[in-house]
Amino acid sequence: MKANWTRREFVQRVGTAAGVLALGGTFAEFLAACGGSATTSGSKLEIFSWWTAGGEADGLAEMFKIYKAKYPSVAIQNAAVAGGAGSNAKAVLATRMQGGKPPDSFQVHAGQELVSTWVKASKMEPITAIWASEGWDAVIPKDLKTIVSSGTDVWSVPVNVHRGNSLWVSAKAASAVSATTTNNLDNFLSALGTAKAAGMQAPLALGSKGNWQVTMLFENNLVAVGGADFYRGLFTGKSSWTDNNIKTALNYISRMLNYVNSDHATIDWDQAAGRVQAGTSVATIMGDWAKGYFTANNWKPDTDFTGIPSPGTTGTYMIVCDTFGVPKGAPDHDNAVNWVKVCGSKDGQAAFNPKKGSIPARTDVPASLFDSIAQRFMGEFKNASLTPSIAHGSAAPEAFASGLNDEMGQFVQQKNVNASATNIAKLAAQFLQ
Ligand code: GAL
């Protein structure tokens, strides 16, 4: 089994190597120059995230409940900013951090988004001592620790592992878009074609507001057409961004677009999931936070819907890992430290993840707490070839990820495979070298 090797590859890319990939200079330097400020503690705790949709907001509320029970005198301020993948929140956070007004703790993806942005800019406090005193080495896999570490320090604690390469299918569609018809991209497209021929206008639900959802289609398709080694190689220099797989992956997106709702640019991922639930679409490709959405809206896993690897990606796991750390100058420093402890705790992760749709970062949270789809994902995660997500901050510096999102926004309008492939190669040359 290649699992050990591939995990090492994964870690090398998003972890220790993360610091060498500069954000692009000036922004990081500017932040570094701002420096930290003295820490104090009050009776409040401000938590910043983008968890406002069904499922994700419920998961967050569960962790708030645990915090409240432990620290009843602390008033929690939920500073969540709506917009999937932090499409609005990240800009708000950057403004606050630059202005010296950090929240007490904020959601940040493991890997580049943490290390080559906030750590590089000297805006985080190390949590190395907390990690040790909480005994997390014994319960959080080393691979996950590595991608929230740089130098000799640890900078945040993973609260979950999401799977970015998932396909969600309504049970009503089970015969048309079944697991066997979705095991590769061509079969999937022909299943969508069958559904459309039977009268369904938009069998594949897409919400592309903010464009990151199309970046997800792109990264999943890259794994499907090139394999996990090819995909990881794009970030280590072993694979080329001018490889024909780039065009093939784009071409598959273009073909998928024949089957999506025409208003996709105006809706987000949760509204797209809502279309599946409403029955106007039969499937959507989205991270397993979509499972959180469905269960929050009273759909039963493996009864009303199911979840499987996105077409052509069986055996791989597109890692999306949410973490929390403590920024320098957190106004309620000690409360923030206690928050991070809840995030890394067994109770916290046991309460959070079943609602969130993710699997826990800790290995000691009982699988029996989870639905059957999550249990399957937990099993697959153990042996899967891990690939870090671009769309969700792990694989590449922010400048590349946001440039790619913009390009995907162009692509869904123009569907010009050659032009987008050229522009993507330019972005890679600029930001990944
Ligand atoms: C991701 C995040 C997930 C989920 C999703 C949609 O970036 O890691 O936890 O919130 O965005 O908002």
Least confident of 15-29, 158-172, 283-297: 15-29
Beta bridge partners, 162, equal 320
| pLDDT of 146 higher than 50 | yes
Q: How far apart are CA 74 and CA 342, in angstroms?
A: 14
Kindly report the protein residue whose alpha carbon is nearest to atom 2 of ligand 1: 85
Contact 79, 47 (CB under 8 A): yes
Cα dihedral across residues 302, 222, 378, 68: positive or negative: negative
State pLDDT tens for residues 78-97: 999 999 999 999 999 999 99
| pLDDT of 152 higher than 90 | yes
Give the residue, out of 392, 394, 398, 402, with the most ligand 1 atoms within 8 A of its beta carbon, to mutate for a pocket test.
Answer: 392
State pLDDT tens for residues 210-228: 999 999 999 999 999 999 9
Q: Ligand 1: distance of its center to the CA of 268 in Å?
A: 12
Q: Does the CB atom of residue 173 touch ligand 1 within 6 A?
A: no
Q: Does the CB atom of residue 161 touch ligand 1 within 6 A?
A: no
Contact 207, 267 (CB under 8 A): yes
Q: Which atom of ligand 1 is nearest to the CA of 160?
A: 9
Q: Does the CB atom of residue 85 touch ligand 1 within 6 A?
A: yes
Q: Ligand 1: distance of its center to the CA of 276 in Å?
A: 19
Q: Does the CB atom of residue 291 touch ligand 1 within 6 A?
A: no
Least confident of 13-22, 247-256, 407-416: 13-22
Q: What pLDDT sits at residue 25? A: 33
Q: How far apart are CA 357 and CA 380, in angstroms?
A: 15
Q: What pLDDT sits at residue 399? A: 96
Q: Ligand 1: distance of its center to the CA of 422 in Å?
A: 29
State pLDDT tens for residues 99-111: 999 999 999 999 9
Q: Ligand 1: distance of its center to the CA of 38 in Å?
A: 31
| pLDDT of 5 higher than 50 | no
Q: How far apart are CA 22 and CA 112, in angstroms?
A: 9
Residue from 395, 397, 432 nearest 11 by CA:
395
| pLDDT of 347 higher than 60 | yes
Stretch 312-337: mean pLDDT = 97
Residue from 90, 160, 148 nearest 124 by CA:
148
Q: What pLDDT sits at residue 183? A: 81
Q: What is the dihedral of CA 405, 228, 428, 121, to 10 degrees?
A: 80
Tokens representing 328 are 């320098």
Q: Which atom of ligand 1 is nearest to the CA of 53?
A: 12
Instruction: Report how far Cα 96 is from the mean position of its chain's Cα atoms.
Output: 22
Helix (H, G, I), strand (E, B) or coil at 95: helix
Q: How confident is the model at residue 35 (pLDDT cuts 50, 70, 90)?
A: very low
| pLDDT of 237 higher than 50 | yes
Q: What pLDDT sits at residue 41? A: 61
Q: Which atom of ligand 1 is nearest to the CA of 393?
A: 7
Q: How far apart are CA 310 and CA 97, in angstroms?
A: 36
State pLDDT tens for residues 156-210: 999 999 999 999 999 987 666 666 677 899 999 999 999 999 999 999 999 999 9
Q: How confident is the model at residue 33 (pLDDT cuts 50, 70, 90)?
A: very low
| pLDDT of 34 higher than 50 | no
Q: Return the percentage of the chain with pLDDT > 70, whole number.
A: 88
Stretch 104-119: mean pLDDT = 97
Compute the mean pLDDT over every residue in the chain, rounded to the nearest whole number. 91
- For 291, 305, 360, the CA distances from 299, given in Å and listed in that order, are 9, 7, 21
Residue from 419, 425, 429, 407 nearest 215 by CA:
407
| The residue to which tokens 């954000």 are assigned | 23
| pLDDT of 301 higher than 90 | yes
| pLDDT of 1 higher than 50 | no
Stretch 35-46: mean pLDDT = 64
Kindly report the protein residue whose alpha carbon is nearest to atom 12 of ligand 1: 84
Q: What pLDDT sits at residue 12? A: 59
Q: Does the CB atom of residue 275 touch ligand 1 within 6 A?
A: no
Q: Does the CB atom of residue 392 touch ligand 1 within 6 A?
A: yes
